[in-house]
Structure 1
Amino acid sequence: MKKQRYTPEFKQEAVKMIIIDGVTVKELSKQLGVPEGVLYSWRQKHLDELEANSPEGAQSPKAMAAEIADLRKQLAKQKRMSEILKKTVSYFSEEV
């Protein structure tokens, strides 16, 4: 089987979709037909490059990516809580 080659632009766009757009690696792997392990390695390499080129005193790109992921999880949890509260309010506000 021939090894697939990807352009740097393709790799950058895939990493952008993972880090910035919040697309899961599993989902992106299915969309693009790229193995999950390859996507993880591209993301890690990109973050390492950003880390090496980041100015002194600035927040680490790895820390920023982790913070973004954490905030996405918190937002999803808050959305679920909001839906539960809406359903609870509508249940108790129904007239019998």
Structure 2
Amino acid sequence: MSRKKTQAYTEEFRREAVRRADQPGCTAASVARELGIHPGQIYNWRRQFTRLSDKQFNAVDGVDYSKAESEAMRKLKREMETLRKENEFLKKVSAYFAKSQE
């Protein structure tokens, strides 16, 4: 049993195919025929664009994996770790001063 090899299309190609299919006087079927793909593929890409807007191929199950989002997440994690350490230190200092006032 052989498996059909699938073609990986770039995001730019997908965006262009959907844009062309959305032009007046064009149909998804005619654009698909020109590009040599199945018309259902254009409908799928259009649905992804509509549902996920600009993040369409950078998001999976509502999680944004774009470079900018990942960098922001790393920055927030670093900041959170710094604040956690400062909080632990302040707890120890306040306990020390509370004992010394007794």
Pairwise TM-score range, normalised by the shorter structure: 0.3 to 0.5
With normalisation by structure 2, the TM-score equals 0.45
Higher gyration radius (CA): 2
